[in-house]
Amino acid sequence: MTFDPCWLGGQRLPEVTVHASGALAQTIRAELRQTRRVQHEVEVALCTLGRLEETPLAAWVEQALPVDGLGGEGFLVMRRGNHLVVTAETGRGLLYGYFYLLRYFEWMTGDFTVVERPAVPVRMLAHWDDLSGAVERGYSGRSIFFRDGRVVQDLTRVRAYARLLASIGLNAVVLNNSTVGPAETRLITDHLPDVARLAAVFREYGITVHLSVNFAAPIVLGDLDTADPLDGRVARWWAAAAGRVYDAVPDLGGFVVKAGRPGPATYGRHQADGANLLARALAPYRGTVHWRCFVDDPDQDWRDRTTDRARAAYDHFVPLDGMFDDNVVLQVKHGPLDFQVREAVSPLLGELQETRFALELQVTQEYSGQQKDLCYLGSWWREILQFDTTGGGGPTVAERTEMIVAVANVGDDPNWTGHKLAQSNLYAYGRLAWDPAADPVSLLHEWAAATFPIDDRTRAELVGIMAGSWLTYERYTAPLGVGFMVTPGTHYGPSVNGYEYSASGAYHFADRYGVGVDRTVATGSGFTRQYPEPLASRYENVHTCPDELLLFFHHVPYDHVLQSGTTVLQHIYDTHFQGYDEVEAMLVRWKAIADRFDPAARDNITARLEGQVANAREWRDQVNTYFYRLSGVPDALGRTIYG
């Protein structure tokens, strides 16, 4: 199957000389052999610092280098007259410098100096792929790694994918689903030679491979009758397993763990016991355990409003802060629920003080349209990354975390992401992981310019269609941060009461008088106390809680007046009509420029937007009808609501 080169399809450079050695320098040379040549007066050189004297700008570059150096992944780009030099301390930094050059060369005019260093050291994509080829929460076809119980033989597409990831600054991948089934458990035994083949391809682009492992592997593989983390036999089993894995892949990044059943709690042990078991097995190899903090009460009763799913991660992990080994990283979802299109930022991201942690995002659009609906998430992610964890001028999430992880959105569809425009989310994730202060709209312009051979006016119109699509999606789905209201299982499309009486903890508690989840200390679950002051008081007070999170933190009557000046119920009506109208307008705007795109992109985007109109209509009508029937209060503007 042929596949779309994504944003690396048509870039051009003049002749470039490379003054560097090593495996990644060879990758750069191979890249340059495939890059289209253009006539240009600028002489371009790529060099590591040790060979800087081989370039004409050596003296200028040495003066411009940061006092603390470029680090293992940073680079410097300098132009003086007709000479342009990209330099780095390492091959990985030089590779990122090459892709920077590829991205921006046509705009590199005049003399300038740019220094780039990633803000976050580990920038990872996690794949929820199974050996069968299925992808959990995958909306773009089947796995590019696995098929029919084994690693694919032809790794051509995997190499192209590694190139895509390196081009946006990502340096780590998880190959398989964190929900590790019996077949996938054998990735650390039977399939190690094939894992090594995958790792070798990613290594060409400076990307480190990680594996998700089954905490119960000693039992599943039939070697032991227990997975108790304090049992010496279990510790020895994992030490031997880690040795075999690192014999096959010496630079493996480590293991990812979602401890289920059995997990440490099965044996009366806490989460740190489980994580430290694996950490000690990996320590001789400098491997890291990524321990996912996705925990909740599996038997939550909808009748009991004192039990709150949002509290679970904090309640489990804050008491253990400082008890984890140094090579354990707690992987914390951006919100306390489950990748909702709007929810509060997880208090764990501010309250963990003595434990390493990673921010976890979701590029695959599980709750944000599933790559059927256009929903550009760059703006949402930047809000999360720039969130002040103290509420009073303290460090942001981006400043506190040393790793960023996101669930990947690619599959074997020809355009990688199902919806052609969903490529922008993968691009934006990588660029924001490198620079959390990057402007999301500027990133859209970058992506569109590198992806489509279109003129500036067409690109501006496309970006205009896409830039506000996250807020549009929010408007026609669950209101004011209440979350969910989705079809159970699939999580696509509306089902207002779909989870209302389940054990999921995903409730909205709507009745004839009001809606929302009371998470206050005064009358609710007490979740607000998990935040520091002044955030706790801001969320606790119904009058200071941000409108967009009101129903996440409070149960309020329908006539409660928002800070915007409208009532909650009228806001629900207004935003659902507005969201639908905006989707219709997106389709109209797209059709006006669609003929300027290649047929495959044109047809794909048109079909997806037409489907989004239908989905937005269902959301609008079902949500509005639900609240009209419940409250008996009509729309103040007299628009059609189906009673």
CATH code where residue 37 lies? 3.30.379.10
Q: Rounded to the nearest 10 degrees, how much is the dihedral formed by the CA atoms of 541, 546, 547, 553?
A: -50
Asked if residue 357 and residue 494 are part of one domain, the reply reads: no
The tens digit of pLDDT for each residue in 194-222 reads 999 999 999 999 999 999 999 999 999 99
Residue 576 lies in a domain: yes
CB 332 within 8 A of CB 397: no
Percent of the chain with pLDDT over 90: 94
Domain that holds residue 156: 122-451
Residue 609 lies in a domain: yes
Asked if residue 135 and residue 59 are part of one domain, the reply reads: no
* SS3 assignment for 2-40: CCCCHHHCCCEECCEEEECCCHHHHHHHHHHHHCEECCC
Asked if residue 443 and residue 497 are part of one domain, the reply reads: no
Asked if residue 262 and residue 206 are part of one domain, the reply reads: yes
Asked if residue 610 and residue 560 are part of one domain, the reply reads: yes
C-alpha radius of gyration, the chain, whole number: 25
Phi/psi at 228 (5° precision):
-55, 120
Burial of 110 by CB count in 10 Å (0-12 exposed, 13-18 middle, 19+ buried)?
Answer: exposed
Phi/psi at 349 (5° precision):
-70, -15
Instruction: Tell whether the model's pLDDT for residue 294 goes beyond 90.
Output: no
On whether the pTM is more than 0.85, the answer is yes
Asked if residue 127 and residue 104 are part of one domain, the reply reads: no
Instruction: Tell whether the model's pLDDT for residue 453 goes beyond 80.
Output: yes
Q: What is the mean pLDDT of residues 74-101?
A: 98
Distance in Å from the first CA to the final CA of the chain: 49
pLDDT averaged over every residue in the chain:
96
Asked if residue 271 and residue 338 are part of one domain, the reply reads: yes
CA-angle at 253, arms to 400 and 71, nearest 5°: 55
Alpha carbons 307 and 309: distance in angstroms, whole number:
7
pLDDT at 73: 98
Asked if residue 179 and residue 91 are part of one domain, the reply reads: no
Q: How far is CA 423 from the centre of its chain?
A: 13
Residue 532 lies in a domain: no
Residue 586 lies in a domain: yes
Of 116, 149, 174, the domain-final residue: 116
- 340, two tokens: 């909702």
Output the domain CATH number for residue 585.
3.90.1330.10
The tens digit of pLDDT for each residue in 603-635 reads 999 999 999 999 999 999 999 999 999 999 999
Q: What is the mean pLDDT of residues 97-107?
A: 94
Of 116, 150, 178, the domain-final residue: 116
Residue 388 lies in a domain: yes
Phi/psi at 465 (5° precision):
-70, -40
The number of distinct structural domains making up the chain is: 3
The tens digit of pLDDT for each residue in 222-242 reads 999 999 999 999 999 999 999
Asked if residue 129 and residue 214 are part of one domain, the reply reads: yes
Residue 200 lies in a domain: yes
Instruction: Tell whether the model's pLDDT for residue 643 goes beyond 90.
Output: no
pLDDT at 1: 59
| Nearest residue to 334 (alpha-carbon basis) of 322, 321, 345 | 345
Residues in CB range of 379: below 8 A, 6 or more apart: 440, 441, 467, 470, 471
pLDDT at 261: 77
The tens digit of pLDDT for each residue in 350-395 reads 999 999 999 999 999 999 999 999 999 999 999 999 999 999 999 9
Cβ count within 10 A of residue 602 = 17
- 284, two tokens: 């001789």
The tens digit of pLDDT for each residue in 545-558 reads 999 999 999 999 99
Could you give the residue ranges of the DSSP H alpha helices within 386-422?
397-400
The tens digit of pLDDT for each residue in 495-517 reads 999 999 999 899 999 999 999 99
Instruction: Tell whether the model's pLDDT for residue 299 goes beyond 90.
Output: no
Asked if residue 221 and residue 185 are part of one domain, the reply reads: yes
Buried-state track 42-72, b at ≥16 Cβ within 10 A, e below 16: bbbbbbbbebbeebebbebbeeebeeeebbb
Residue 485 lies in a domain: yes
Asked if residue 184 and residue 78 are part of one domain, the reply reads: no
Residue 285 lies in a domain: yes
**What three-state secondary structure class fits 119?**
coil
Q: What is the mean pLDDT of residues 561-573?
A: 98
Asked if residue 93 and residue 185 are part of one domain, the reply reads: no
| Nearest residue to 314 (alpha-carbon basis) of 298, 287, 295, 334 | 295
Alpha carbons 387 and 399: distance in angstroms, whole number:
10
Alpha carbons 104 and 8: distance in angstroms, whole number:
12
